Amino acid sequence: GENVEQHPSTLSVQEGDSAVIKCTYSDSASNYFPWYKQELGKRPQLIIDIRSNVGEKKDQRIAVTLNKTAKHFSLHITETQPEDSAVYFCAASIITDKLIFGTGTRLQVFP
Amino acid sequence: DTAVSQTPKYLVTQMGNDKSIKCEQNLGHDTMYWYKQDSKKFLKIMFSYNNKELIINETVPNRFSPKSPDKAHLNLHINSLELGDSAVYFCASSTGTGGYTFGSGTRLTVV
């Protein structure tokens, strides 16, 4: 079955700096890669996703890149703000199947 | 209107008791899920239903029994609760072709 590894487990950055979180997946059949943000005590919320027919997707300050050959995908947050502080989860699935989540990255943005 | 609603939000109960968590979605999604988030924040799928039919049943003890009376509802009943069942349980729904929408979670504490 699918296995998703996520690094780093914690990430501290200064406000305004960039943050990068990386994930690798094991099942080459996976074709859908969402990212979720979970603030303390709240539900995971979808922030961006990418499908396997696309190499990169951007939405304002966040972007996701996918390297299907290497089975890597990454989340990039530019110009970080304190409200970006949260736990971020990557996930992978074969569309219509279950999402397998990474272990999460706790991002702290210091003012 | 809340898209995916779960009740109760908090549940504190003694070992050995039986309890239920309810979930309802008003998004018209065909697929619903139960995920367990442990103390280390790891999100693990438990069950998936598509249009009232069970399609995924991970290696979950048979003390956990999901029930889907219709495609908008997926409830979780837990028998003979154990200390290790303490976690946050998230219900989610999706169209089956994209990201999930999560409920607000039920924090279960077994004492």
Substitution target in A3, A43, A49 with the highest count of B β-carbons within 10 Å is A43
For residues B105 and B37, the answer to whether their CB atoms sit within 8 Å is yes
Q: What is the pLDDT of residue B97?
A: 77
* Pairing label, strands A105-110, A10-14: parallel
Out of B42, B97, B103, name the one closest to residue A43 (CB): B103
Q: How far is A17 from chain B (nearest CA, A)?
A: 25
Read off the pLDDT of residues A51-91 as tens digits, 9 standing for 90 and up: 999 899 999 999 999 999 999 999 999 999 999 999 999 99
Q: What pLDDT shows up at residue A96?
A: 65
Q: Would you place residue A1 in the very low, low, confident or very high pLDDT band (cuts 50, 70, 90)?
A: confident
According to DSSP, the β-strands at A100-101 and B4-7 are unpaired
Average pLDDT, chain A: 95
8 Å CB contact between B101 and B27: yes
- Helical spans, DSSP H, in chain B: none
pLDDT at B44: 94
Of B48, B56, B90, the CB nearest to A43: B90
Those residues of chain B that have pLDDT short of 70 are 1
Nearest-by-Cβ selection for A104 from B41, B96, B103: B41
Q: Would you say how long chain A is, in residues?
A: 111
Amino acid B90: pLDDT: 98
Distance CA A90, CA A102 (A): 5
Residue A16 has pLDDT above 70, yes or no: yes
Among B92, B74, B72, CA closest to A93: B92
Sheet containing strand A4-7, edge to edge, reads: A4-7, A19-25, A72-77, A62-67, A56-59
What was the pLDDT predicted at B1?
Answer: 67
